[in-house]
């Protein structure tokens, strides 16, 4: 008797249940990405997603510290948090089933990627998973996942009215211009910081290029051991104290663990359109970044925090 449909139904039911558990908040998402990479190190994107998700958590809790409470009113801070949270949730909701189906495929020794249609995953990334199963190109799959998730994010979050409303506001515009709110940090175990930023981050091509550059730094032989060691030895709490306690300097502003600041947010699952149906020419996004030797940028980051502090003091003085 063929019980394959029954097994498939069981796999889908398990994934739906686990997705609800692991997509609870920024901490559960980050932890899942990093544990997944431990068990499936060939999926480089999972580790990249972990470090980017850490940054999302740090940005969320920054909004609750004294500096940002001075710089932005409560409505602006709430809207910014909503964008960070929605982006973090959306990417996980799309990517997690892909990661789980890959694990199931490994266990069964055969590709099960056709099941991803159940989760509204793009035909583009389904084809990339099939190609990876056959050719095992770790770098290509990582780039493909970067491309896919940025297009998913574009349509599900960044093209929505809330995002456009927030970035059009003068306080946010001035903060972004002077402090680079959209930079991503890659802390290392020895207290050094690697970082990149994107501007304007509204352009999907810029965010894809940023993702590829971050992957280059993360997996560069000179940086991977120290960044990976930081991630292993410092579980993500949402507080910037996760890494600033390792550095020779600190912004000296309170930074709270995420669950002390924000409740769990309930998201409405909306049916997504397949972005790849209208973006058929994506070959150019696979172009590798030009290699370079990663350098630490501690002073640059320190300068940006100083700019935020000065902006806060000016705002306080004006009030």
pLDDT tens per residue, range 84-97:
999 999 999 999 99
Note whether residue 262 is domain-resident: no
Q: How confident is the model at residue 174 (pLDDT cuts 50, 70, 90)?
A: low
Determine, yes or no, domain membership for 162. Answer: yes
Euclidean distance between CA atoms 108 and 116, whole angstroms: 16
Tell me, yes or no, whether 307 lies in a domain.
Answer: yes
pLDDT of residue 179: 58
Tokens at 50, concatenated: 């972990």
Six token digits for residue 65: 């510290």
Average pLDDT over residues 163-174: 72
Dihedral sign for Cα 304, 306, 308, 310, please.
Answer: negative
* CA 177 from centroid of its chain's CA atoms: 22
259 domain-assigned: no
> Taking 70 as the threshold, does the pLDDT of residue 178 lie above it?
no
In a domain, 241, yes or no: yes
Residue bearing the bigger pLDDT, 228 or 7: 228
pLDDT tens digits along 259-314: 999 999 999 877 888 999 998 789 999 999 999 999 999 999 999 899 889 988 98
- 223, 243 contact by CB (below 8 A): no
Contact 236, 54 (CB under 8 A): yes
For residue 196, the enclosing domain spans 4-252+269-318
- 235: phi then psi, degrees, rounded to nearest 5: -55, 145
pLDDT band at 319 (very low <50, low <70, confident <90, very high): low
Residue 264 lies in a domain: no
* pLDDT above 80 for 2: no
Question: In this structure, is residue 74 part of a structural domain?
Answer: yes
Does some domain include residue 257?
no
Closest listed residue to residue 230, CA positions, set 241, 221, 242, 238 = 242
Has residue 67 got a pLDDT over 70? yes
Residue 278 and residue 103: Cα distance in Å, rounded?
30
pLDDT at 192 exceeding the cut of 70: yes
User: Which residue is it, tokens 């249940």?
Assistant: 17
- 3-class secondary structure for the chain? CCCHHHHHHHHHHHHHHHHHHHCCCHHHHHHHHHHHHHHCCCCHHHHHHHHHHHHHHHHHHHCCCHHHHHHCCHHHHHHHHHHHHHHHHHHHHHHHHHHHHHHHHHHHCCCCHHHHHHHCCCHHHHHHHHHHHHHCCHHHHHHHHHHHHHHHHHHHHHCCHHHHHHHCCHHHHHHHHHHCCCCEEEECCCCCEEEECCCCCCCHHHHHHHHHHHHHHHCCCCCHHHHHHHHHHCCCCCCCHHHHCCCCCCCCCCCCCHHHCCCCCCCCCCCCCCHHHCCCCCHHHHCCCCCCCCCCCHHHHHHHHHHHHHHHHHHHHHC
User: Does position 1 have pLDDT exceeding 50, yes or no?
Assistant: no
- Whole-angstrom distance, CA of residue 178 vs CA of residue 305: 10
Total number of domains constituting the chain: 1
């Amino acid at each position: 008797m063929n019980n394959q449909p029954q097994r498939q139904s069981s796999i889908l039911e398990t994934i739906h249940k686990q997705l609800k558990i692991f997509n609870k908040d920024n901490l559960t998402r980050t932890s899942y990405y990093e544990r997944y990479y431990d068990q499936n190190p060939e999926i480089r994107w999972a580790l990249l997603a972990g470090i980017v998700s850490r940054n999302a958590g740090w940005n969320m809790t920054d909004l609750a510290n004294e500096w940002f409470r001075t710089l932005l009113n409560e409505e602006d801070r709430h809207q910014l948090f909503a964008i960070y949270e929605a982006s973090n949730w959306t990417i996980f909701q799309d990517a997690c089933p892909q990661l789980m189906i890959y694990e199931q495929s490994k266990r069964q020794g055969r590709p099960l990627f056709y099941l991803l249609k159940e989760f509204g995953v793009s035909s583009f990334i389904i084809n990339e998973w099939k190609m990876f199963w056959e050719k095992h190109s770790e770098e290509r799959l990582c780039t493909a996942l970067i491309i896919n998730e940025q297009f998913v994010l574009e349509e599900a979050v960044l093209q929505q009215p809330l995002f456009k409303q927030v970035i059009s506001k003068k306080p946010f515009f001035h903060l972004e211009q002077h402090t680079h709110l959209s930079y991503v940090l890659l802390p290392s175990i020895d207290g050094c910081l690697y970082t990149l930023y994107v501007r304007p981050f509204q352009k999907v091509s810029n965010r894809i290029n940023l993702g590829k550059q971050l992957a280059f730094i993360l997996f560069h032989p000179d940086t991977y051991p120290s960044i990976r060691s930081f991630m292993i030895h410092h579980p993500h709490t949402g507080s910037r104290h996760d890494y600033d306690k390792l550095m020779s300097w600190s912004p000296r502003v309170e930074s709270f663990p995420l669950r002390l600041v924000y409740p769990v947010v309930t998201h409405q699952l909306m049916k997504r359109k397949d972005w790849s149906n209208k973006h058929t020419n994506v070959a150019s996004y696979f172009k590798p970044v030009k290699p370079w030797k990663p350098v630490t940028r501690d002073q640059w980051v320190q300068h940006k925090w100083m700019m935020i502090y000065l902006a806060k003091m000016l705002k306080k003085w004006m009030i």
